[in-house]
Amino acid sequence: MKIATIVGARPQFIKAAPLSKTLREKHREILIHTGQHYDRGMSDVFFQQLGLPLPDFQLAAGSATHGRQTARMLEGIEEILLQAKPDIVLVYGDTNSTVAGSLAASKLHIPIAHVESGLRSYNRAMPEEINRVVTDHLSSLLFCPTDQALRQLKAEGIEQGVHLVGDIMVDGVQANLGIALKQSSILETMQLAPRSYCVATIHRAENTDSPHAMEQILKGLSSLGDTVILPLHPRTASCLEKWKLTAQLGRKGFIRVCDPLPYLDMLRLCHHAKAIITDSGGLQKEAYLLGVPCLTIRKETEWVETIDAGWNRLLPAESLAIQDAYAALSRPAAAPSLYGDGNTASRIRKLIEAYMLTMQ
């Protein structure tokens, strides 16, 4: 069986690593990198640390408006699929790379398998929500991480080809946390003691595109009383420059800005953090898997289980709300197993194999 896997952004590299390893034990995988994340800190280093094979095709789509970026990817992916003729196309998550790959495959009548299917924020202002809805409705195989995702697909009339498999991120964390704790020296390099700092990431358009929201977030982060490590996404850096807010990063000396970190460094940094403050979808879940309380600066989340379990809290982009929530932080006594047992990659491979047998 020939499988075309499409990735383009940091979270997809992390999710693809365990599944790619499993697929290549028995099948041929063609890896297509769209170049949505294209610099070394957001791309190359992840391939090296996660053991992902080098891409067979690299599109270098780069950054642009959503329409232009997706169009570049769609054109490039279509050309590759026509040349490679895969039996199935595998996509991850909710990025422009995901929807471009799904559209290209569907037009060529190639079955699509969607990993991390069924997530919904019910906020159509989010580009990610559009991407995941379109991809789910085009897919032949839909791999759900949670019961909630399963129910949300059913509510939209999608029941065929839907499978509850657990979350592929669990496979990745289980495989790499021990390595990160042994190999990463990030705490020593930054002179940080465990539980003495928090990690923050901000990159979603609803925050970065608003000068008021970004000013409030920075004000809140700088007033927590603890060191805040802020790996700065290129999009965020550009917006801070645009809104003339870079001077606020050094306020009171609590916010320490760094470039995007390699996966193993980020994993160890988050593992030992007092809290994680983010608007990222994936980092909310990683925080839960690592047993670290999370404050999410968004109006909604796809990972509602983390809220219900008491490990995550939604916050408005307001300085006082961030300060108050951080001051009231607590670590729940229990962390139920919400996202599976770390064998998601194996389940997905078997389900793809079974599906392809029915297509012969």
User: Going by C-beta distance under 8 Å and a sequence separation of 6 or more, which residues neighbour residue 314?
Assistant: 296, 298, 299, 300, 301, 307
Number of Cβ atoms within 10 Å of the Cβ of 225: 11
313: left (phi over 0), alpha (psi -120 to 50) or beta: beta
C-alpha separations of 27 from 30, 234, 342 in Å: 10, 36, 21
Token pair 């690299």 in the structure block, residue = 58
139: left (phi over 0), alpha (psi -120 to 50) or beta: beta
Tokens for 189? 């390099």
Q: Which helix (H) or strand (E) holds 88?
A: strand 88-92
Q: How far apart are CA 14 and CA 280, in angstroms?
A: 14
Q: Which residues pair with 143 in a beta bridge?
A: 115, 163
Q: How far apart are CA 187 and CA 193, in angstroms?
A: 7
3-state secondary structure of 103: helix
Q: How far apart are CA 315 and CA 301, in angstroms?
A: 11
Is residue 203 flagged as an active site residue?
yes
Q: Are 142 and 156 in contact (CB under 8 A)?
A: no
**Residue 291 DSSP symbol:** T
Dihedral (CA of 65, 102, 289, 43) sign: negative
DSSP string, 299-321: S--S-HHHHHTTSEEE--S-HHH
Cβ density class 88-105: b for 16+ within 10 Å, e for less: bbbbbbbbbbbbbbbbbb
Instruction: Say which of 114, 203, 233, 271 is annotated catalytic.
Output: 203
Q: List, by residue number, the catalytic residues.
A: 203
